[in-house]
A = this chain, B = another copy of it.
Amino acid sequence: MPSSPTITTMPTHAAQPDDSPALQALYRGFEQERLIPLWTQIGDLMPMHPQSKASACLWRWKRLNELAAEAGRLVPVGRGGERRAIALANPTLGGRPYATPTLWAAIQYLMPGENAPEHRHTQHAFRFVLEGEGVWTVVNGDAVRMSRGDFLPQGGWNWHAHHNAATRPMAWIDGLDIPFAYTTESQFFEMGRATLSADEMGTPQLSRSERLWAHPGLRPVSQTNDSATTPLLAYRWVDTDRALNEQLALEAEGHAVTLSPGHAAVRYSNPTNGRDVLPTVRCEMHRIRSGAASVERREVGSSVYQVFDGQGSVQVGAERWQVEKGDMFVVPSWQPFTARCGADAPALDLFRFSDTPIFEAVHAYRVQLGAAQA
């Protein structure tokens, strides 16, 4: 349903022409011709720096999990609805299921024995497992175990389904670039097969992708092309945890390998090119040791965090929260962010995903480290 724009002489930082019947007639002419002048809009359209429409916002895991469990009882999973996924809806983004203007973040929930049907889409996705086990994601026929702390990227346009092979429900989070694909209008979707083969419904400890690709610095000579999305479908917690511990140990031995004192971080990367696992989404795990804090950071683009373990406090713009395991929060574009591990926790582990690769790809990324001057 088309709607004509309505041009008003808005209060704005921009100087405005004197009002007059002629000006009003001009504005009505603009409206009839579906035109809007820059001078009434420039303050909003072209701010001095990003003024995010999104809010710094926190979701508590306890409530997410309770509501997801209730959905498990009431809402079936099947073709059409496709997934029992419940998305964070940033309250200042127009009632849309968007965590940020570009990122989707949801809790997904699967009951014992349930299957989420096979489909594929161009939106890039990943899953991250806060706790539990028993679900396998089947990607192009390769069954990938999902366990605590695992990160499972899912490049666009790969067939995938999920099945819960255990006797308990399981929850995890999904991250996608759904809002970005939606606003730029680039999305494709296709339904897959109704049922998978018995082989695909197996529960192997390691996926084929890991057996082929999860060897440090080694790649199969049969697959030497660059791939825009990672061919490695699971990044296991045991590796991530060890990598973070080693950074902190190396720091303690005097080597500058952390982001700042007490703040270790690894980026999940595509072994075919060393770049981000997905072309539009960056994924990282951060560990801040007891008593330490991250350097204040302000950057173009938005992030979503989930506390994987530990306790601490985070500050996003003017907001400050005590956070604990499972809690999720959003850092909007250009809002300063700091995280601090409480003295009573051994470390604060933060899983983070962001839209940074989009800005890097179009040369629009900026970052500012350290507290801004007053």
Contacts and interface: CB of A to CB of B under 8 A. Distances in A.
Contacts of A221: 259, 265-267, 284, 286
A366 B186 CA distance: 8
A272 interface: yes
B38 A85 contact: yes
7 contacts: A3-B92, A4-B91, A13-B80, A33-B59, A34-B91, A186-B300, A208-B250
A186 to B, nearest CB: 5
B123 A46 contact: yes
Nearest to A182: B45
B17 A75 contact: yes
B333 A185 contact: yes
A196 interface: no
B232 A46 contact: no
B38 A219 contact: no
A274 B277 CA distance: 13
Number of copies: 4
Given A14-B81, A217-B269, A97 B36 contact: yes
B186 A86 contact: no
A205 interface: no
A34 B57 contact: yes
A358 to B, nearest CB: 6
A140 B184 CA distance: 32
Contacts of A363: 228-229, 279
B274 A219 contact: yes
A301 B186 contact: yes
A45 to B, nearest CB: 6
A269 B55 contact: no
B64 A249 contact: no
A336 interface: no
B35 A67 contact: yes
A152 B45 CA distance: 22
Given A53-B185, A250-B208, A333-B185, A271 B216 contact: yes
A78 B39 CA distance: 10
Contacts of A41: 87, 97
Of A51, A82, A89, most buried by chain B (CB within 10 Å of CB) is A89
A188 B45 CA distance: 10
Interface string A191-232: 000000000000000001001111111111111101011101
Nearest to A352: B221
